[in-house]
Amino acid sequence: MLDIIYQDDYLIAINKPHGLLVHRTAMASDAKEFALQLLRDQVGRKVSPVHRLDRKTGGLLLFAFDKENEIAMQKQFMEGQVKKKYLAVLRGYAPDSMDIDYPLMKDNGVMQDAFTSFITLKRAELDIPFGKHLTSRYSLVEASPTTGRMHQLRKHFAHIFYPIIGDRKHGCNKQNKFFKEQWEMTTMLLHASELNFVHPVSGMPIALKAAVQPEFGAVLEMMKFV
């Protein structure tokens, strides 16, 4: 059963587990379950996602029950009216805060503006040697992207040399292997924690929050971030 964070007559939001695809895609033919179908069967109504989360990203995923509100919410996302926050665990000691203004290229070669701000919430130094270092250092950050490009946070953190732990495509392969060997963890430590928007029907502000998934939470405890 999916964890439903919010539901009314028009919208429904879940806390998506890491590894679950939003919907069926030819790019991941190995997948047998999808958030779209699972949620539809769970609530007994047709649902449509109004935005996307990567397969490996956990957290808040918003759906609409009808086409009119699907379009209205997609418009809010596209126009940057939805305020989003993510939690991520990065390699190394990240700066206290930073604005990343770094354009990203689409698959068709077109460059798009991309903006991310983040603050570092906590840092950890583990007494576990890594490579030539006597200890291992990590940062827990809260990121606020103001654009919604594909893999934006993953690419932006890799660009500033503080990659997200567990990101196989854009991250640090040595760190990912280290986490798998040390703790049998393959989860990407990126979580969509908050969504703030105006309800398309009532016009009221909606503020949603979702707790991290258990595997993410175990890492936070191990690093004494919580």
Beta bridge partner(s), residue 83: 196
Residue 54 to residues 103, 135, 167, 170, 211: CA-CA distances in angstroms?
Answer: 19, 31, 11, 13, 17
> For residues 197 and 206, is the Cβ–Cβ distance under 8 A?
yes
Quick one: tokens of 20?
Answer: 């679950």
Q: How far is CA 162 from the centre of its chain?
A: 16
Residues 54, 99, 113, 167: which is the catalytic one? 54
Distance, CA of 93 to CA of 196 (rounded, Å): 29
Say whether 54 is catalytic: yes
Task: Dihedral sign for Cα 15, 218, 34, 170, please.
Answer: positive
Of the candidates 150, 77, 147, the one whose C-alpha atom is nearest the C-alpha of residue 107 is 150
SS3 138: strand
Closest CA to 50 of 39, 42, 17, 41: 39
Q: Which residues are catalytic?
A: 54
